[in-house]
Amino acid sequence: MDQPIGVIDSGVGGLTVARELMRQLPKEQLIYLGDTIRCPYGPRPEAEVVQFTLEMVEFLQKKQIKLLVIACNTATAFTIDLLRERLSIPIIGVIQPGARAAIKVTKTKTIAVIGTDGTIGSKAYPKALKQISSDLTIYDLACPQFVPIVESGHFSPEAAKHVVEQSLKPITNLRGLDTLILGCTHYPLLAEPIKQVMGANVEIISSGEEAAREVSALLSYQALAYRGNRLAKHFFYTTGSPELFEQIANRWMDYPVQHVENIVIDQSLVEKNKSF
């Protein structure tokens, strides 16, 4: 099916999902929208996160997307059930794939989850994990300083490691802990200091990467994959600075991110059309 995949995030963190989608599905076109002007979502009230997410989805619906990826853990926690009720296209979040991957790799059945205030407060990961396996020991920890570091685009390895060390202190010496879920798609950009702090015995799970694998399987299962012969062109939008978005993205994306467009979300669109 020659229609794009839509990807939304509170900022640049969802590009970790987009990068994996591009690697696995080189023929599929992506349209990415990062709400950088209102990032981070983690500290915001649930109602605000829902409203912002609906606004982004309204924009992507006009692009005739065939599948939506909510590449934001906070938005996934607060909106995925609502969006599945309202939209006729498949929707993939980042929480269930991350939970399934963690359960596959843990040997001690002791798992920690780090995320934004909103994601951790929602208890979405413990719920998802317990639905699959009830005999788990689960720790969750909010790390509110991580997203601002990534979104700033300016941080030294030393500064990042210091913040990571201080933030992860409550879980660094937990007995039996062998698996850590990065419950925010911004966090893989801090993967190296996180690995250094947690140690070699703790497996790091990127919920975003796991979500990309699920998209690949779903496209095949529902016969939505593009069957032609092309190398896809991707489009990037932000509600904030296109220059800063490009600067951050091109530091670690394999695909050159250029000509990023700034958009102004029209909140009245959602108010007028609550059912899409």
Question: Which residues are registered as beta bridge partners of 225?
Answer: none
**Distance of alpha carbon 273 from its chain centroid, rounded?**
26
Nearest to 17 by CA among 60, 70, 57, 62: 70
Nearest to 152 by CA among 236, 261, 40: 40
Question: Which residues are registered as beta bridge partners of 226?
Answer: none
Per-residue DSSP letter, 113? E
Residues within the annotated binding site for substrate?
Answer: 9-10, 41-42, 73-74, 185-186
Question: Which residues are registered as beta bridge partners of 255?
Answer: none
Residues within the annotated binding site?
Answer: 9-10, 41-42, 73-74, 185-186
Token pair of 247 as six digits: 């600067």
Sign of CA dihedral 210, 211, 217, 220: negative
CA distance 192 to 155: 13
Nearest to 175 by CA among 219, 149, 207, 137: 137
| Residue given tokens 């570091």 in the structure block | 149
Please report which helix (H) or strand (E) contains residue 37, including its range.
none
Residues marked active site are found at: 72, 184
List, as own/partner pairs, every contact residues 152-156 make where C-beta atoms lie below 8 angstroms and the sequence separation is at least 24, other chains included.
153/244, 153/247, 153/248, 153/251
CA distance 196 to 194: 5
